[in-house]
Amino acid sequence: MRTFRFAALLLVAALVLAGCSTVERRVGEGLAGEWTAGPFYEVPNPLPPGAPGTLIRSARLLGAPNGAAAWRVLYHSRDDAGADIAVSGIVVAPTAPTPAGGRTVVSWGHPTTGTAPRCAPSVGADPFDLVEGLGDLLAAGYVVAATDYANMGAPGPSTYLIGTTSGNSVLDAARAARALPETGANDRLLLWGHSQGGHAVLFAGERAATYAPELDLLGVATAAPAAELGELLDADIGDVSGVTIGSYAFDAYADAYRSRPGVTLDAILTPAGTAATPGMAQLCLIGQNDQLHAIADPLIGHYVRSDPATTEPWASLLRENTPGSVRLPVPLFVAQGEADTLVRPETTAAFVARECALGTAVTSLTIPGADHGFVADDALSTLIPWFAALPGSPRGNCPT
C-alpha cells in the first residue's frame, strides 16, 4: 500500500490529520510548532547587498537520502518591486562523482503549506519528504533546489501566489545550488512544481531568459498548477479549503499591493471575513488544521461579499498574477488528475488550451483516478523520461 505522503494534505484544509503517518506527524510538528528554528533564518539588518542567488549562508543538513548530501540555504532574491530580499530553502545533490559537464539542477516549487515563516518546508523535521519525486530525481543524477518562497523560513512580507516574486525565488534557488561547489551543478535547469508550486515555476519559466539569462532552461513541468486564479477561487471559495487558501492569497495581496487604490480586504470580504483573514494567514496548513477549521468553518458561504475575479482592482491583480500571458520558450509538461476537486480538470484544460494557442510545446497528461494530493507522484513515471529527453524539441500533444 502506498505511503500516505505530504502531498495528500496540500491545499486540503477540510481534511483532519487523523491517521497520517509518522513522517507527516514529524513534518507537522516542525511546521506548526513553536518557532524555534534558530539563528539560521535570521536576516541581517540591514541586509548587505547581493546579486540574486548569492548565498547569505548555508549549513549541512543531517538525514539526507542515501547517496545524497543536503544543505539548508539562505540566499538573495528579488520581490516584484525589485527589492533585495532573503529567501530560504534546501539543496540536495548526489554524492557520487560529478559527471563530466556537471549536473543539471531541478528547481522545485512546493505546494501550499501556509504563508507564515514557521510553515516553511525547510523548517520541518523531515524536509526531504516534502519534495515530490526527490528520490527519482537524485537517482537520475539531478541536483534538487527547493525554495521555501519569500516570508517562509526567512521572515518578510507574504508573497503567496504573487507570480514575479515566487518565480524569482525558484530561479534564485537554482543559482544558490550552483554556488555550492560540492553539488557539481552546471547552468542547465529544469523546473518542477505542484499546485502553488506549479504557479511559481510557470512564472519562473516565463521570466528565466531575462531574469536569469546565465541559466540554460530546458523545460518546465507542473502538476495541477494554480494557473487560473480567478476560476480557482470561484470554484473553491464555497468550502473550507477555498476559505483557507483565499485567506492566504487575500492577506498577501492586501499587503503587497496596499499602495494601489482600492486594494483593501473589506472591498471583497464580509466584515467577518475581513476580521478573520489575518489570523488565518498565520496558521500552517499542516499541523494547525483544527485551528484553521475553527475559524474557516463558520465563514463558509459568508466569507466574500463580492467576487474578487470581477471586482476591481482585485480582478486586475488576479489577472496580473495568472501565468500564461506569454509563450513559454521551452517545452511544458502539465499533469492533471481526473479526480481532482481542488484544481479541477476543466480549469487545467483551459490553461493548456491557452498555452497551446500561444505556441508553447505542451505535453498534457491526464491521469484517471488521481486526486490533487497524489497527482505529482502519479506523474513521475512519465515525467522522469520526459526530463531525460531534454534538451530537445518535443512537439507535445497540442491539437494541430
**pLDDT computed for residue 124 by the predictor:** 78
CB–CB of 337/372 below 8 Å?
yes
CB–CB of 15/246 below 8 Å?
no
DSSP 119-172: G-GGGSS-GGGGSTTHHHHHHTT-EEEEE--TTSSS-S---TT-HHHHHHHHHH
CB–CB of 338/372 below 8 Å?
no
DSSP 184-232: -EEEEEEEEEETHHHHHHHHHHHHHHHH-TTSEEEEEEEES----HHHH
**pLDDT computed for residue 351 by the predictor:** 96
- Pull the grid cell for residue 37: 528554528
Which residue, 285, 282, 41, 84, is CA-closest to 172? Answer: 84
Q: What is the pLDDT along the chain (400 residues), one digit of tens a residue?
A: 333 344 434 433 333 222 233 333 334 444 444 445 578 999 999 999 999 999 999 999 999 999 999 999 999 999 999 999 999 999 999 999 999 999 999 999 999 999 999 999 999 778 998 899 999 999 999 999 999 999 999 988 889 999 999 999 999 999 999 999 999 999 999 999 999 999 999 999 999 999 999 999 999 999 999 998 988 888 778 888 889 999 999 999 999 999 999 999 999 999 999 999 999 999 998 888 889 999 999 999 999 999 999 999 999 999 999 999 999 999 999 999 999 999 999 999 999 999 999 999 999 999 999 999 999 999 999 999 999 999 876 679 998 7
Beta-carbon contacts of residue 294 (< 8 Å; ≥ 6 apart): none
Q: Which residues pair with 60 in a beta bridge?
A: 71
- Strand, helix or coil for residue 336: strand
Q: CA 225 from chain center: how many Å?
A: 9
**pLDDT computed for residue 14 by the predictor:** 32
What is the Cα–Cα distance from 362 to 365, expressed in whole angstroms? 10
Q: Give the angle 234-237-243 at the CA atoms, nearest 5°.
A: 145
> β-strand 103-109 against 84-94: which pairing, if any?
unpaired
Q: How many CA atoms does the CB half-sphere of 66 hold within 13 Å? A: 0
**pLDDT computed for residue 107 by the predictor:** 98
**pLDDT computed for residue 393 by the predictor:** 62
CATH number at 6-229+320-388 = 3.40.50.1820
Domain ranges for the chain, please list them: 6-229+320-388
